[in-house]
Chain A
Amino acid sequence: MDLAYLIEALVKVLIVLGFTLLGVPIIVWMERKVLGHMQDRIGPQRVGPFGLLQTIADGIKLFFKEDVVPSQVDKVMFAVAPAISVVTALAAMSVIPFGDHVTLFGRVIPLRITDVSIAILFLLGATSMGVYGIVLGGWSSNSKYPLLGALRSSAQMISYELAMGTALLPIILMTGSLSLLQIGRAQTHMWFIVPQIVAFVIYMICAVAETNRAPFDLAEAETELVAGFHTEFSSMRFALYYVSEYANIMVVSAVAITCFLGAWNGPFLPGWAWFLIKLVAFLFFYIWIRATFPRLRYDQLMTFGWKFLLPLALVNLAVTAVVLTVKG
């Protein structure tokens, strides 16, 4: 473990961290702008060119707001819960491969922080730990709407995690590896979305549900639950939840690209450029979904997840296994 290796690792960690944290305001801006135009509005336009600095201004505003802690809250958990959300989202980014490798200053540098052999399980583990941020946030607020919101969203996340994991299993079967790097390399000739279109659709639906976004944003259904689990949070604590939501969107998008949309593979441009292009396109798609569908009812959501998505994912898995066995 020489010094150059340590420096390289540190720089990569800083880059990915910065990329994720700076990506959040850009995604928020993109969402407001795209959503605005889809709803025949203009969206933010006052602060900076095209309103680009709007989310920065919002961030500064949140930073300087008074940090209100309601009197009957569980003080420790109230402080820890938003942090758990952010940490799990950032941890998940550490296994995402942004490309294969580049040669810089005579060193071959892999474009990822780490390539653990069980990357997909690491991702699922990180997202399953993310549930705690929401459950604890809702519980520690000691208030009815946050508690109900937290219960809703954690039940939803646990239910859809199952179908999500099952949708990723055919990919693992096809590559014979849990490493995201191997999965990316296996798609040089054909993207996995072609043979696994069903799995992709299931993954997509689960990803939207997993990140608690419209049409699955029942956790913060403002007509019923005020703002759900983060009702009592203000200032930077609220901002942390906000960051974690968008960081999670980046994570699920990056996983979708790596597992289904050919990872960093593409003609002419370098791998990381293709990855970024696909990421932006995918985020646009994500926002498009939000603008298109109305919110579901809670029982519909649960029925859909358990009685339709999960069986479908299992059948898809079985069919993939049989086809792979027959082909040899």
Chain B
Amino acid sequence: MLEGILFAMFAGVAIGCALGVVFHRNPVHCALLLVGVLLSLAGVFILLHAAFVAALQVIVYAGAIMVLFLFVVMLLNVKGETPLLTPGAAKGFGFLFGLIVATELLWTVLSPGGSEGGPFPAAALPAEFGSPAGLGMLLYTTWLYPFEIVSLLLLVAVVGAVVLAKRKFF
């Protein structure tokens, strides 16, 4: 009951903020609404018994990445009236990607077992579920290769960023 109310709250705020990101004119306000989306998602993660993921969501996405986003938007001082793409092309792309994501989501929910057990399967979970120890164990055993590949990808991105930023010195 309580979980249901909380879920409705977080989900509602997330959807509201997401709509705001799309429709708001001022880019700084858009960035902040995106922060709102990320924070509400963190709330949903907590309801799904994934407190560690929720904390990471807040620290990494809302706390670090979005601040850098905000920096760029603030310093560029983008006016709300200058769209990046022409309206027609932007609408086309937006519609296409929106359709793809919507199809994927529907596919997942409607496929067998997609919505099995409802959103809060608390009873069936092992004690370690969602805890930092449990997550670390999974990452470093079962999912070791994907994990290492992602870290390599990030390293490449970091080196690339440094090279691009320092290009004038070479």
Contacts and interface: CB of A to CB of B under 8 A. Distances in A.
A248 to B, nearest CB: 15
Interface in B14-57: 26, 28-29, 32, 35, 51-52, 55-56
Interface stretch (B3-11, B61-69, B86-94, B97-105): B61-69
A296 B68 CA distance: 24
B119 interface: no
A129 interface: yes
B140 interface: no
B13 interface: no
A151 B58 contact: no
Contact of B52 (A118, A128, A147, A154): A118
Contact of A132 (B29, B35, B52, B132): B35
A163 interface: no
B67 A118 contact: no
A124 B86 CA distance: 41
12 contacts: A74-B26, A118-B55, A124-B59, A124-B63, A125-B58, A125-B62, A128-B63, A139-B74, A147-B74, A158-B67, A158-B68, A161-B63
Contacts of A242: none
Given A118-B51, A118-B55, A129 B71 contact: no
B151 interface: no
Interface of A: 74, 76-77, 116-118, 121-122, 124-125, 128-129, 131-132, 135-136, 139, 147, 151, 154, 158, 161, 178
B55 to A, nearest CB: 4
Contacts of B55: 118, 121-122, 124-125
Given A118-B132, A121-B59, A122-B55, A128 B64 contact: yes
Contacts of A161: 63
Interface of B: 26, 28-29, 32, 35, 51-52, 55-56, 58-59, 62-64, 67-68, 70-71, 74-75, 131-132
A181 B132 CA distance: 17
B62 A129 contact: yes
A91 to B, nearest CB: 11
A74 B29 CA distance: 10
A167 to B, nearest CB: 15
Contacts of B52: 118, 121
A128 B35 contact: no
A117 B71 CA distance: 33
A129 B63 contact: yes
Contact of B51 (A117, A128, A147): A117
A166 to B, nearest CB: 13
Given A125-B63, A128-B59, 16 more contacts: A77-B28, A117-B51, A118-B51, A121-B59, A122-B55, A124-B63, A125-B55, A125-B58, A125-B59, A125-B62, A128-B58, A129-B62, A131-B67, A135-B74, A147-B74, A158-B67
B59 A132 contact: no
A117 B67 contact: no
Given A139-B74, A151-B71, A178-B132, A131 B63 contact: yes
Given A118-B51, A118-B52, A128 B62 contact: yes
Contact of B58 (A129, A136, A154, A158): A129
Nearest to B28: A139
Contacts of A136: 32
A243 to B, nearest CB: 21
B73 to A, nearest CB: 9
A76 B56 CA distance: 28
What 8 pairs between A and B have smallest CB-CB spacing? Answer: A128-B63, A121-B55, A125-B58, A125-B59, A118-B55, A139-B74, A118-B51, A128-B59
A227 B53 CA distance: 38
A139 B56 CA distance: 26
Contacts of A116: 51
A132 B28 CA distance: 12
Contacts of B74: 135, 139, 147, 151
A207 B28 CA distance: 29
A117 B35 CA distance: 24
B71 A132 contact: no
B1 to A, nearest CB: 11
Contacts of A131: 63, 67
